[in-house]
Amino acid sequence: MKAARYHSTGGPDVLVEDDIPEPKPVEGEALVRVIACGVNRIDVWARGGRYKTTLPHILGTDIAGEVVSLGPGAEGPEKGTKVLVRPILSDGTCIYCRRGRPNLCVNRGFVGVATDGGYAELVRVPAASLLPLDGVDAEVAAALPVNFATVWNALVSKASVGEQDTVLVWGAAGGLGHAAVQVAKHRGAKVIAAVGDARKGDFVKALGADYVVDSRSRDFVEQVRSITEGLGASVVFDHVGGDTWTASIDCLARGGRMVVLGLTSGPKSEVDVRRVYQDELEILGAYGQTSEDLKAVLQLAKTGRLSPSIFRKLPLSSAKEAHEIIESREVQGKILLLP
Ligand SMILES: [Zn+2]
């Protein structure tokens, strides 16, 4: 089968298309023919060496496809079923798994990082990780797990966003950001979209953003305060990290929630602790997604209430180009590889 993989970590150039033997599912696994695989920043980081992977390695965490066969003892959807793969791998037995939080599993990992992923014609995954697509188009489904289900965990399961909220979304045009705008709007909130490039303003407005603010403007915090009549945003969606934390805290209204789900900048920041307790700010971490988060977004995608914006569809041989687009920060929405 064909697979896009890297034999050593490095820049996008290390991604090459190889012809390799078909994988065989072992105990508890399913073999899935990949129809579409989302490209994510986690892929770029793994390829660059930030996450340890066995070499040569096949990336790809967002996988939609069709069941080809089940390995010994595997229980899952039957051959021919179109499925989505839950990206978090968990042992199913630790205290967090037993509490329904596989994303906190002591032995957690991601499909496509801890194991070979979906930048290939075939992939083997735990049969228990498969969710039937139930009529959702595979290309739409492949855009859901890492972006929409993670956002659902952050904004709904953690921050309980509702119609009374004004949500500030950093990086609103990207994979996570464009999902956050849609999920917040679906929940009835007002959305302030922060974009680093004025050309992305029309894109986020079309997704439903009520206001667009240039995240590079010097008076960014004042603009957010002005939009919110001096109060600040009741929820801040921060996936940037060290570069935005201080502004995120400054943008929060009293009693506001900041939900943090990763970083694309440095890991450290200074926070004035007085604001956190005097204004009763809540800082909520969100990591990955549960099956419930995934089921929720799949159901909403089925009825068109959440609709991933597909920026580019590329063949496996263009995995390098897909990574270059992600790194250029030019992306608006989601990039898919179609094996
Ligand atoms: Zn566990």
The string of pLDDT tens digits covering residues 163-217 is: 999 999 999 998 999 999 999 999 999 999 999 988 899 999 999 999 999 999 9
Cα–ligand 1 centroid distance for 334 (angstroms): 30
210 C-alpha to ligand 1 centroid (Å):
40
What distance in angstroms lies between residue 30's CA and the mean position of ligand 1's atoms? 20
298 in a domain, yes or no?
A: no
How high is the pLDDT of residue 143?
96
CA 190, CA 249: separation in Å to the nearest integer? 18
Q: Ligand 1 center to residue 97 CA distance, Å? A: 4
Residues 156 and 255 in one domain: yes
- Statement to judge: residues 230 and 256 lie in one domain: yes
100 in a structural domain? yes
- Residues 6 or more apart whose CB falls under 8 angstroms from that of 161 comprise 155, 167, 183, 184, 187, 189, 235
Domain shared by 67 and 154, yes or no: no
Q: Specify if 292 maps to a domain.
A: no
Total Cβ atoms within 10 A of residue 328: 8
Q: Are residues 132 and 152 in the same domain?
A: no
pLDDT at 2 over 80: yes
What per-residue confidence (pLDDT) applies to 272?
87
Q: Is the pLDDT of residue 329 over 90?
A: no
Tell me: the pLDDT tens digits for 279-309? Answer: 999 999 999 999 999 999 999 999 999 999 9
DSSP 247: H
pLDDT band at 30 (very low <50, low <70, confident <90, very high): very high
pLDDT tens digits, 82-134: 999 999 999 999 999 999 899 999 999 999 999 999 999 999 999 999 999 99
Cis peptide bond prior to 56, omega within 30° of 0:
yes
* pLDDT of amino acid 265: 77
Q: Output the furthest CA–CA distance in the chain (Å, rounded).
A: 61
pLDDT at 271: 86
pLDDT for residue 263: 81
HEC assignment per residue over 137-201: CHHHHCCHHHHHHHHHHHHHHHCCCCCCCEEEECCCCCHHHHHHHHHHHHCCCEEEEEECCHHHH
105 C-alpha to ligand 1 centroid (Å): 4
Per-residue pLDDT, 237: 97
Residues 228 and 252 placed together within one structural domain of the fold: yes
Question: What spacing in Å lies between the alpha carbon of 92 and ligand 1's midpoint?
Answer: 5
Alpha carbon of 108 to ligand 1 centroid (Å): 7
Is residue 295 one of the residues assigned to a domain?
no
Amino acid 262: pLDDT: 81
Q: How confident is the model at residue 267 (pLDDT cuts 50, 70, 90)?
A: confident
Confidence of residue 226 (pLDDT cuts 50, 70, 90): very high
Q: Which one is predicted more confidently, 197 or 63?
A: 63
Cα 59 from chain centroid (whole Å): 15
pLDDT band at 156 (very low <50, low <70, confident <90, very high): very high
Supply the range of the domain harboring residue 203. 148-285
Ligand 1 centroid–CA 128 distance in Å is 14
CATH of the domain at 129: 3.90.180.10
pLDDT for res 103: 93
Q: Distance between CA 24 and CA 110 in Å, rounded?
A: 19
296, part of any domain: no
pLDDT score of 57: 98
Residue 118: which H helix or E strand, with range?
none
Query: How, if at all, do strands 82-85 and 130-132 pair?
Result: antiparallel
Cα(36) to ligand 1 centroid in Å equals 28
Instruction: Output phi, psi for 113, to 5 deg.
Output: -120, -60
Q: Are residues 199 and 236 in the same domain?
A: yes
Q: What is the mean pLDDT of residues 73-79?
A: 95
Going from the Cα of 114 to the center of ligand 1, the distance in angstroms, rounded, reads 15
User: Count of domains in the chain?
Assistant: 2
- Rounded distance from Cα 76 to ligand 1 centre (Å): 20
* Domain identity same for 116 and 201: no
With respect to residue 291, please indicate whether it lies within any of the assigned structural domains.
no
**Does residue 253 register a pLDDT over 90?**
yes
State in Å: Cα 80 to ligand 1 middle: 29
Helices of type H across the chain: 41-48, 95-98, 138-141, 150-151, 175-186, 201-206, 220-227, 245-251, 273-278, 291-302, 319-328
d(CA 299, CA 285): 25
Q: Are residues 110 and 153 in the same domain?
A: no
Give the residue-averaged pLDDT of 43-49.
96
329 shares its domain with 206: no
Same domain, yes or no: 191 and 209: yes
Distance 104 CA to ligand 1 centre (A): 7
Tell me, yes or no, whether 293 lies in a domain.
no
**Ligand 1 center from residue 100 Cα (angstroms):** 9
Q: Where are the alpha helices (DSSP H) in 16-121?
A: 41-48, 95-98
Between the alpha carbon of residue 177 and those of residues 110, 132, 167, 185, the distances in Å are: 21, 26, 12, 12
209 in a structural domain = yes
- Residue 101 shares a structural domain with residue 156: no
> Could you give the percent of the chain with pLDDT greater than 90?
91
Distance 115 CA to ligand 1 centre (A): 17
**Domain co-membership, 127 together with 14:** yes
User: Rounded to an integer, what distance in angstroms lies between the CA atom of residue 297 and that of residue 300?
Assistant: 5
Ligand 1 centroid from CA 99, angstroms:
9
Distance 68 CA to ligand 1 centre (A): 27
Question: What is the Å distance from ligand 1's center to 287 Cα?
Answer: 14
Cα 338 off chain centre by: 18
pLDDT at 243: 83
Q: Ligand 1 center to residue 107 CA distance, Å?
A: 6
pLDDT mean over 133-161? 97
Q: How far is the CA of 150 from the centre of ligand 1 (A)?
A: 18
First to last CA, the chain: 10
